[in-house]
């Protein structure tokens, strides 16, 4: 039996900042596979943030430098509030769930400041992206878990 941690929004949970889902047909197909167990998590909700919520981005520039207005890798909401602690807490809980369930891999939502992998929004709230992982993806990778984005599935 394969165990996969999955971003809840990919399974149809309306947990995104705008209270919508981002249902992924390939993830739904995995849910139909009798040899696979999916473990849905929404790290932003686990970190105590409400739904809907103000959108947030990790603060990076395109060349990877930290913006002068923030700490490295900090997560700021569009209204300027520092929500880094919520993101870290959600990442810690998601990683603990991954450990407790001894998952085989994680499939997480591309681009998100929590769940994004390799390329995420750059902190400018302009739609621009930069190299980097979301906070949960970074923590899962550091813990040794394999992570794929929904786009890589």
Tokens 């899962």 belong to residue: 140
Q: Counting Cβ atoms within 10 Å, is residue 54 exposed (0-12), middle (13-18) or buried (19+)?
A: middle
Distance CA 143, CA 24 (A): 26
Site for ligand SF4 contains 59 (CB under 6 A): no
Selected from 4, 38, 44, 129, the binder of ligand SF4 by CB under 6 A is 44
Site for ligand SF4 contains 49 (CB under 6 A): no
CB 43 within 8 A of CB 90: yes
Site for ligand SF4 contains 95 (CB under 6 A): no
User: Scanning residues 120 to 149, which ones bind ligand SF4 (CB under 6 A)?
Assistant: none
Nearest approach in angstroms of CB 47 to ligand SF4 is 9
Site for ligand SF4 contains 9 (CB under 6 A): yes
Return the structure tokens found at 17. Answer: 């900042």
Residues engaged in binding ligand SF4 (CB under 6 A): 7-9, 15-16, 42-44, 109, 112, 114-115
């Amino acid at each position: 039996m394969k165990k996969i941690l999955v971003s809840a929004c990919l399974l149809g949970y309306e947990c995104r900042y705008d209270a919508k889902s981002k249902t992924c047909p390939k993830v739904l197909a995995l849910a139909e596979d009798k040899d696979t167990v999916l473990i849905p998590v929404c790290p932003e909700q686990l970190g105590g943030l409400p739904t809907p919520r103000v959108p947030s981005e990790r603060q990076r520039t395109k060349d990877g430098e930290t913006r002068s207005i923030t700490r490295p890798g900090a997560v700021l909401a569009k209204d300027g509030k520092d929500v880094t602690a919520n993101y870290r807490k959600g990442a810690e809980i998601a990683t603990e769930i991954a450990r407790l369930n001894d998952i085989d891999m994680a499939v997480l939502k591309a681009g998100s400041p929590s769940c994004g992998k390799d390329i995420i929004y750059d902190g400018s709230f302009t739609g621009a992206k930069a190299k980097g992982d979301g906070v949960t993806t970074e923590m899962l990778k550091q813990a040794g878990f394999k992570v794929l984005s929904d786009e890589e599935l």
